[in-house]
């Protein structure tokens, strides 16, 4: 079976800076795949290229076999691509409920006239939407107590969860999570990790995530790809990636430098 997402030979440069250099990546259907790498490795550039904010100079992106390299972001949303952002990008002037409702935007049909007149059709669609997100998203992510709260007033961890809720409301095939647990305390991190696993188990949604928290990455992912300076330097199971010399070097520096560090000799 073909992978759900295929990234083939992607290169992206901003002026003289090579953000991505011939990066290839397959995301298998139903998997949780993590992209890791030091700061500036090109992880977010990769995400932004997959979501359609950047146009790569070379390479292709296939979602379920469809070439989406040159489609604008809204078209990708309709094909089942959803994402969250590293710095929360919720609609701050709205309540939690309205934010989540926006996730379903592409799946709804009401036009300007029907919306303003709130005729039968528009009304039925709105109420069906409400019932669906109440059951599928709000209950699922345990945010029923804050549904009417303005998002700007929520604590950071909950805002991250609302952003996940909004992405889930899009009924995606592939969910991109850009640093889902960054800046969270241990409890919030564990909650989020559990929700990510539930999303895969109960919804069958494939997840691709960027994360710096290695404990989370090693615990929940099936497959890990490592980037450094825009290049893929390793890929495989979490256990395999952890022991790759190139990966250790990228994170810790050269092997001889490592040998000089106190306590490094016994760690192997």
Find the shortest distance in angstroms from Cβ 259 to another protein.
Answer: 45
Pick the closer one to another protein by CB: 53 or 251. Answer: 53
Token couple for 108: 């709804």
Token couple for 73: 């972001």
d(CA 66, CA 106): 18
CB-CB contact of 134 with 104 (8 Å): no
Find the shortest distance in angstroms from Cβ 163 to another protein.
Answer: 9
Q: Nearest Cα to 33, choosing from 237, 195, 232?
A: 237
Site residues (vs another protein, CB under 8 A): 51-53, 72-74, 77-78, 82-83, 85, 89-94, 98, 101-103, 105-106, 108, 110-112, 115-118, 122-123, 125-127, 130-131, 134, 166, 170
Task: Give Rg (Cα) of the chain.
Answer: 20
Q: What are the φ and ψ backbone dihedral angles of 125, each rounded to 5 degrees?
A: -65, -40
Find the shortest distance in angstroms from Cβ 103 to another protein.
Answer: 6
d(CA 224, CA 119): 50
Pick the closer one to another protein by CB: 127 or 255. Answer: 127
Pick the closer one to another protein by CB: 21 or 126. Answer: 126
Find the shortest distance in angstroms from Cβ 234 to another protein.
Answer: 29
Pick the closer one to another protein by CB: 97 or 158. Answer: 97
Pick the closer one to another protein by CB: 35 or 169. Answer: 169
The three-class DSSP label of residue 200 is: helix
Pick the closer one to another protein by CB: 17 or 117. Answer: 117
Find the shortest distance in angstroms from Cβ 76 to another protein.
Answer: 8
Interior/surface letters 112-134, b for 16+ CB within 10 angstroms, e for the rest: eeeeeeeeeebeebeeebeebbe
End-to-end CA distance of the chain: 38
Find the shortest distance in angstroms from Cβ 132 to another protein.
Answer: 10
């Amino acid at each position: 079976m073909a992978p759900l997402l295929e990234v083939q030979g992607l290169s992206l440069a901003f002026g003289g800076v090579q953000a991505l250099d011939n990066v290839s990546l397959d995301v298998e259907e139903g998997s949780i795949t993590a992209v890791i790498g030091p700061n500036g490795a090109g992880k977010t550039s990769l995400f932004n290229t997959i979501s359609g904010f950047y146009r790569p100079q070379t390479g292709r992106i296939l979602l379920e076999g469809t070439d989406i390299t040159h489609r604008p972001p809204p078209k990708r949303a309709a094909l089942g691509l959803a994402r969250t952002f590293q710095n929360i990008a919720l609609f701050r002037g709205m309540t939690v409920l309205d934010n989540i409702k926006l996730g379903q935007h592409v799946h709804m049909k009401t036009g300007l006239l029907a919306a303003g007149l709130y005729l039968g059709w528009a009304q039925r669609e709105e109420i069906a939407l409400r019932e669906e997100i109440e059951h599928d998203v709000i209950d699922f992510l345990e945010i029923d107590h804050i549904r009417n709260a303005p998002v700007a007033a929520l604590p950071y961890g909950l805002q991250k969860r609302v952003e996940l809720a909004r992405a889930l409301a899009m009924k995606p095939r592939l969910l991109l999570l850009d640093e889902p647990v960054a800046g969270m305390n241990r409890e919030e991190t564990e909650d989020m990790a559990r929700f990510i696993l539930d999303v895969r188990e109960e919804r069958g949604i494939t997840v691709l995530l960027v994360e710096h928290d290695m404990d989370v990455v090693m615990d929940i992912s099936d497959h890990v790809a490592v980037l450094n300076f825009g290049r893929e330097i390793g890929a495989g199971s979490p256990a395999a990636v952890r022991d790759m010399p190139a990966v250790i070097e990228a994170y810790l520096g050269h092997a001889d430098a490592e040998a000089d560090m106190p306590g490094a000799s016994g760690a192997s």
